């Protein structure tokens, strides 16, 4: 009986060893499967990482050493730079990376850092590099969050060649400046986002006219507009976020957009907004907040915003979907 028990224990122990060994084998097999994936799959995986992290994979093996140099997306937005490196270190890193990059085409090029005027020539080279690679999505986020006043400092001046780029489909500019010395021609552009930027009526008109395929326009914390006249047949979605004016509530922003189907007014709104000629509008979102600088003026401010909201709602009677934020309900 004792011998039988020992045999049973040995059998069980052997079975466990086989199971553990089998699991270990499966793990090794999984690692092998990753290593033999085609380059196209590995490049896709690397394209989902910030560029700094993608470069780190080069230590895995000889095959990985320069694989990152062919990724279609370059994303220089690693938040660790803010903790461990100064701005010069970040700029130098971008310079070195672009020197080593060997891809024939860039799909998405994103740079996020706190821009300073003395970096202008370096940034010019980055954008020229991306343009030569027929970049499709160009994202330049040079604003440093909510503390930035778009009238302070020196925004980055976009080069003229960027304003006539025919390959871009998605543009997002933050704390940049558009001062065209010729026409604006973004014939392939589908989506445009502008934030922390000085604008004017004529400039926006030129942008829309030069972007015949534009479908989505997002204006965030921009200033200088009085009349936003959108006649494009393809532009269907307009978002206005945190629009402000240095004047009082008697100053109004007029928006005329006969072909717009979706409109969102979000964030801080401190001036009247007149919506005109918007028969195609289907979906509207009103989630703006009331900003009270002086509690003594609370009644006048609420009365002013009550009038703003009333006029807007009268214009939106025909929409199928209407979303209203809590501040609007309180008004």
* Tens-digit pLDDT profile for residues 48-107: 888 888 778 766 667 676 778 878 999 998 565 555 457 788 999 999 999 999 999 999
Domain's final residue, options 68, 96, 124: 96
Give the C-alpha separation, 45 to 181, whole Å: 40
Q: Is residue 321 located within the same domain as residue 193?
A: yes
Regarding whether 188 and 138 lie in a shared domain, the answer is: yes
End-to-end CA distance of the chain: 88
Q: Are residues 152 and 253 in the same domain?
A: yes
Residues 166 and 87 in one domain: no
Which residues of the chain fall below pLDDT 50?
A: 1-2, 7-8, 10-27, 29-30, 32, 84, 145-148, 150-151, 294-296
pLDDT of res. 80: 54
Residue 260 belongs to domain with CATH number: 3.80.10
- 220 beta partners: 195, 241
State how many domains the chain has: 3
**SS percent in the chain: helix, strand, coil, step 5:** 40, 20, 40
Q: What is the pLDDT of residue 21?
A: 41
Closest C-alpha to 143, from 77, 239, 86: 77
Phi first, then psi: give them for residue 50, nearest 5 degrees.
-55, 145
Residue 44 sits in the same domain as residue 14? no
SS3 311: helix
Instruction: Kindly state whether residues 245 and 277 are assigned to the same domain.
Output: yes
Residues 158 and 307 grouped into a single domain: yes
Same domain (yes/no): 23, 156: no
The kind and range of the H/E element at 309 are: helix 298-315
User: What predicted TM-score, i.e. pTM, was given to this entire model?
Assistant: 0.81
Residue 281: the pLDDT is 96
For residues 175 and 143, what is the distance between their CA atoms, to the nearest angstrom? 5
Same domain for 165 and 126? yes
77 & 141 share domain: no
Q: What is the per-residue pLDDT for 48?
A: 80
Domain assignment of residue 90, given as a range: 40-96
Within 8 A by CB and 6+ apart from 165, the residues are 131, 135, 138, 186
Residues 32, 67, single domain; the answer is no
107 and 155 in a single domain? The answer is: yes
């Amino acid at each position: 009986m004792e011998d039988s028990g020992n045999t049973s224990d040995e059998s069980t122990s052997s079975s466990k060893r086989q199971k553990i060994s089998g699991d270990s084998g499966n793990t090794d097999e999984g690692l092998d499967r990753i290593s033999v994936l085609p380059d196209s799959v590995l490049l896709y995986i690397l394209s989902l990482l910030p560029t700094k992290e993608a470069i780190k994979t080069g230590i895995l093996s000889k095959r990985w050493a320069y694989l990152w140099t062919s990724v279609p997306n370059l994303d220089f937005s690693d938040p660790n730079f803010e903790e461990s490196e100064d701005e010069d270190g970040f700029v130098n890193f971008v310079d070195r990376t672009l020197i080593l990059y060997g891809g024939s085409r860039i799909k998405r090029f994103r740079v996020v850092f706190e821009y300073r005027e003395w970096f202008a020539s370096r940034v010019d080279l980055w954008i020229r590099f991306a343009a030569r690679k027929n970049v499709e999505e160009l994202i330049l986020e040079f604003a440093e969050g909510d503390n930035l006043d778009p009238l302070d400092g020196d925004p980055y001046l976009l080069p003229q060649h960027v304003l006539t780029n025919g390959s871009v489909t998605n543009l997002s500019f933050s704390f940049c400046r558009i001062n065209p010395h010729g026409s604006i021609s973004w014939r392939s552009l589908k989506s445009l986002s502008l934030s922390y930027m000085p604008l004017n009526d004529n400039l926006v008109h030129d942008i829309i006219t030069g972007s015949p395929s534009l479908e989505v326009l997002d204006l965030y914390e921009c200033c200088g507009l009085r009349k936003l006249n959108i006649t494009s047949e393809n532009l269907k979605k307009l978002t206005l976020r945190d629009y402000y004016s240095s004047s009082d509530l008697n100053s109004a922003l007029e928006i005329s957009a006969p072909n717009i189907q979706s409109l969102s007014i979000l964030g801080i709104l401190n001036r009247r907004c007149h919506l005109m000629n918007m028969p195609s509008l289907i979906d509207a979102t009103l989630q703006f907040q009331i900003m009270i600088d002086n509690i003594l003026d609370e009644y006048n401010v609420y009365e002013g915003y009550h009038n703003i909201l009333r006029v807007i709602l009268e214009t939106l009677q025909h929409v199928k979907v209407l979303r209203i934020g809590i501040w609007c309900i309180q008004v």
